[in-house]
Chains A and B, each alone.
Chain A
Amino acid sequence: MGLFSIRRRNILPGFGLSMGYTVFYLSAIVIVPLSMIFFNTVPMGWDPFVHAVTAPRVLASYKLSFSTAFFAAVFDAVAGLLTAWVLVRYRFPGKQFLDALVDLPFALPTAVAGICFATLYSPVGWLGATLTRWNIEIINSATGIVVALVFIGFPFVVRTIQPVLEEVEQEIEEAAHCLGATRWQTFRRILLPHLFPALLTGSTLAFARGIGEYGSVIFIAGNLPMKTEIAPLMIMSKLDQFDYAGASAVALVLLLISFSMLLLLNAIQEWQQKEYR
């Protein structure tokens, strides 16, 4: 039995055709191109590969990408939970408008977000001018990168928590209430554990997206080697020097990490389904 073999003759028509096209298109657009990373890294040999991905500049870029993506994901977890809570639980004018705007970071091209934040936080910008006076530097710093990534990751957290929060049965809360729990106890002991898998899923999505993000970051980061150079930018600059093998090596590490995040996510979701069924 092959990977996609058919268990029985199918009654509805079109299986062979649709499956054939699916596999062909998936291979042509995704699998074959992605495999190029692998085929360009393997001929390097082990030592040059290790050398390429552990060069100080590369290591610094990984560290920067991970730490900024991590802090942004944590910030998004808090801001996203709060936003989802307010949008689901409270009634106030303009709520639907704000709810719709949560998706803006999905819809707004990353380059536009990038130039907006770079301009906002520039020393003469609307926010940057004040912050500079207080000696807080956002632009050309890791903080700036975090700001951009918070924007990018925000909808992931809100949109993962919202449906779960909406499904929480009111009776559960009322029951806790009747048993004498305070609002805070109910939230911490009943709701938070219930929301936790969604919160984790949402922040993992935001984190994964943050690691690979490019467009919104490069304008605000300043791209100083060893300081504010993110991993995708490392790939870009190796590519500019036609160092294809080096670019593939850096990309391979980044890919492996992203895929493990994806697998982790699947595991979380399976665990979540088991837990609540």
Chain B
Amino acid sequence: MGIELQNITKKFSGYTALDNISLNVASGELVALLGPSGCGKTTLLRIIAGLELPDVGKIILENKDTTNLPPREKNVGFVFQHYALFRRLTVFDNVAFGLKVLPRKDRPNRKEIGDRVEHLLKLVQMDWAIKRYPSQLSGGQRQRVALARALAVNPKVLLLDEPFSALDAKVRQELRRWLRKLHDEIHVTSIFVTHDQEEALELADRIVVINKGRIEQQGTPQEVYDHPKNAFVYNFLGNVNVFHGRIKNGKVTLGSHHVDAPDELKHAEEKASQAFVRPHEIGISRIRSSETDLTGTIQEVRLMGGQIGLNLACEGFDHPIDAEIPRDLYINLELAKGDTVFVSLNRVKVFTGDYVI
């Protein structure tokens, strides 16, 4: 097992940042900690690195209890959100730092250090910048150097705190793919923290969704996306339409509309429930194909690149519904603002409980 966290709890004055978190990460796995800002995910990462201490709990790295080890004995690679490159050192010296501070008996000689640094900088495609200072590099380049620096000490695990958040959209995409490729090459057990669901879905082997210091759900991106355990996870993983309704006799009432309740709620007693539908799972048609279809008027059309966003006022619903349809369909149906269309709610996900968005 690469990383084993047992019952980690951390309180700061006034609030609980982490509440009894247990998590296992297999060797060589790339795991995303996904959650809104302030949910405790960065604190968890810092605790694994030893930069914070848990109030309760154990951190086991490669089967060795490291809970009370100082960070420098943990052998963890940490990539900071704002890179934290040493501004007075060159790129070479930044990457070499972890090797140069080793005790004399473990320290490689100059040539070995030089070779290793060069190898790592080649790996992150930054070998051309070996003599530069951090201030002379762009954000994406600094991030690569920070990564090389963290890898230089052969860490047992690699921790990345919001690795792409400070980059602009295009660089972020590029670096994301590159990091996935790099991980497939070097296979070091890695955890990264992010608040961007797309990033987590694209990059991770496994996603751990955290909210208010607790793990809401964990699983492969596919599992988490297709079978969200609760309203929070569903909502956090993408845009949604939310309908407040009631569940009764195996049916969910949404406005003047009824849908079948999910199996596990078929025999539930009458209570308030929420139904979620993702905008791209809403069907739009010129002809009525089923009697459950809603009638809606297009209030607004938004161009969103490959997709078209529609804002629909539907009969029997207080709030407008957002739908996303492919551009081709939009053109084929010759839709325009003000048109009346038929709307089908595919894959409605129903949750009961007190979760409020």
Does residue B13 face the partner (Cβ distance < 8 Å to A)?
A: yes
Please determine whether A11 and B52 come into contact, CB atoms closer than 8 angstroms: yes
Q: Which residues of B contact A11 (CB under 8 A)?
A: 50-53, 70-71
Q: Is the interface of B mostly helix, strand, loop or mixed?
A: loop
Tell me how far the C-beta of A186 lies from the nearest C-beta in chain B, rounded to whole angstroms.
38
In the complex, what distance in Å separates the CA atom of A8 from the CA atom of B51? 12
Residue of A nearest to B46 (CB): A11
Does residue A7 face the partner (Cβ distance < 8 Å to B)?
A: yes
Chain B residues 53-96 with CB under 8 Å of chain A are: 53, 70-71
Q: Is the interface of A mostly helix, strand, loop or mixed?
A: loop
Q: Which residues of A contact B52 (CB under 8 A)?
A: 8, 11
Tell me how far the C-beta of B86 lies from the nearest C-beta in chain A, rounded to whole angstroms.
15
Does residue A133 face the partner (Cβ distance < 8 Å to B)?
A: no
Does residue A91 face the partner (Cβ distance < 8 Å to B)?
A: no
Please determine whether B13 and A7 come into contact, CB atoms closer than 8 angstroms: yes
Tell me how far the C-beta of B43 lies from the nearest C-beta in chain A, rounded to whole angstroms.
12
Residue of A nearest to B71 (CB): A11
Chain B residues 26-67 with CB under 8 Å of chain A are: 50-53
Chain A residues 4-23 with CB under 8 Å of chain B are: 7-9, 11
Chain A residues 112-167 with CB under 8 Å of chain B are: none
* Size bracket, chain B contacts: under 10
Q: Which residues of B contact A7 (CB under 8 A)?
A: 13
In the complex, what distance in Å separates the CA atom of A9 from the CA atom of B51? 10
Please determine whether B53 and A9 come into contact, CB atoms closer than 8 angstroms: yes
Tell me how far the C-beta of B283 lies from the nearest C-beta in chain A, rounded to whole angstroms.
49
Q: Which residues of A contact B51 (CB under 8 A)?
A: 11
Tell me how far the C-beta of B72 lies from the nearest C-beta in chain A, rounded to whole angstroms.
9
Q: Which residues of B contact A8 (CB under 8 A)?
A: 52-53
In the complex, what distance in Å separates the CA atom of A9 from the CA atom of B52? 8
In the complex, what distance in Å separates the CA atom of A9 from the CA atom of B55? 10
Q: Which residues of A contact B71 (CB under 8 A)?
A: 11
In the complex, what distance in Å separates the CA atom of A8 from the CA atom of B50? 13
In the complex, what distance in Å separates the CA atom of A8 from the CA atom of B53? 8
In the complex, what distance in Å separates the CA atom of A219 from the CA atom of B162? 64
Tell me how far the C-beta of A122 lies from the nearest C-beta in chain B, rounded to whole angstroms.
53
In the complex, what distance in Å separates the CA atom of A7 from the CA atom of B11? 11
In the complex, what distance in Å separates the CA atom of A11 from the CA atom of B51? 6
In the complex, what distance in Å separates the CA atom of A11 from the CA atom of B78? 15
Q: Which residues of B contact A9 (CB under 8 A)?
A: 53
Tell me how far the C-beta of B70 lies from the nearest C-beta in chain A, rounded to whole angstroms.
8
In the complex, what distance in Å separates the CA atom of A11 from the CA atom of B73? 12
In the complex, what distance in Å separates the CA atom of A8 from the CA atom of B12? 9
In the complex, what distance in Å separates the CA atom of A128 from the CA atom of B13? 66
Tell me how far the C-beta of A5 lies from the nearest C-beta in chain B, rounded to whole angstroms.
12
In the complex, what distance in Å separates the CA atom of A23 from the CA atom of B145? 40
In the complex, what distance in Å separates the CA atom of A11 from the CA atom of B13? 18
Residue of B nearest to A10 (CB): B53
Chain B residues 153-188 with CB under 8 Å of chain A are: none
Tell me how far the C-beta of B49 lies from the nearest C-beta in chain A, rounded to whole angstroms.
9
Tell me how far the C-beta of B44 lies from the nearest C-beta in chain A, rounded to whole angstroms.
15
With a 10 A CB-CB cut-off, give which of A7, A9, A11 has the most chain B CB atoms.
A11
In the complex, what distance in Å separates the CA atom of A148 from the CA atom of B16? 59
In the complex, what distance in Å separates the CA atom of A193 from the CA atom of B70? 52
In the complex, what distance in Å separates the CA atom of A8 from the CA atom of B54? 10
Residue of A nearest to B10 (CB): A8
In the complex, what distance in Å separates the CA atom of A8 from the CA atom of B46? 14
Tell me how far the C-beta of B155 lies from the nearest C-beta in chain A, rounded to whole angstroms.
17
Residue of A nearest to B72 (CB): A13
In the complex, what distance in Å separates the CA atom of A106 from the CA atom of B52? 44
Q: Mark B220-231, 1 if CB is under 8 A from A, else 0.
A: 000000000000
Residue of A nearest to B49 (CB): A11
In the complex, what distance in Å separates the CA atom of A7 from the CA atom of B50? 17
In the complex, what distance in Å separates the CA atom of A146 from the CA atom of B72? 60
Chain A residues 238-257 with CB under 8 Å of chain B are: none
Tell me how far the C-beta of B256 lies from the nearest C-beta in chain A, rounded to whole angstroms.
49
In the complex, what distance in Å separates the CA atom of A180 from the CA atom of B53? 60
Tell me how far the C-beta of B192 lies from the nearest C-beta in chain A, rounded to whole angstroms.
21
Chain B residues 131-156 with CB under 8 Å of chain A are: none
Tell me how far the C-beta of B67 lies from the nearest C-beta in chain A, rounded to whole angstroms.
12
In the complex, what distance in Å separates the CA atom of A108 from the CA atom of B34? 60
Tell me how far the C-beta of B69 lies from the nearest C-beta in chain A, rounded to whole angstroms.
12
Residue of B nearest to A8 (CB): B53
Residue of B nearest to A9 (CB): B53
Tell me how far the C-beta of B103 lies from the nearest C-beta in chain A, rounded to whole angstroms.
16
Tell me how far the C-beta of A15 lies from the nearest C-beta in chain B, rounded to whole angstroms.
13
Tell me how far the C-beta of B89 lies from the nearest C-beta in chain A, rounded to whole angstroms.
19
In the complex, what distance in Å separates the CA atom of A11 from the CA atom of B74? 13
In the complex, what distance in Å separates the CA atom of A257 from the CA atom of B233? 61
Tell me how far the C-beta of B76 lies from the nearest C-beta in chain A, rounded to whole angstroms.
13
Q: Which residues of A contact B13 (CB under 8 A)?
A: 7
Residue of B nearest to A7 (CB): B13
In the complex, what distance in Å separates the CA atom of A235 from the CA atom of B70? 55
Tell me how far the C-beta of A6 lies from the nearest C-beta in chain B, rounded to whole angstroms.
12
6 shortest A-B CB distances, which residue pairs? A11-B51, A9-B53, A11-B71, A7-B13, A8-B53, A11-B52
Please give the residue numbers on chain B whose beta carbons come within 8 Å of chain A beta carbons, in ascending order.
Answer: 13, 50-53, 70-71
7 extra A-B contacts, CB within 8 A, seeds A8-B53, A11-B50, A11-B71: A7-B13, A8-B52, A9-B53, A11-B51, A11-B52, A11-B53, A11-B70
Can you identify 10 A-B contacts, CB atoms within 8 angstroms?
A7-B13, A8-B52, A8-B53, A9-B53, A11-B50, A11-B51, A11-B52, A11-B53, A11-B70, A11-B71
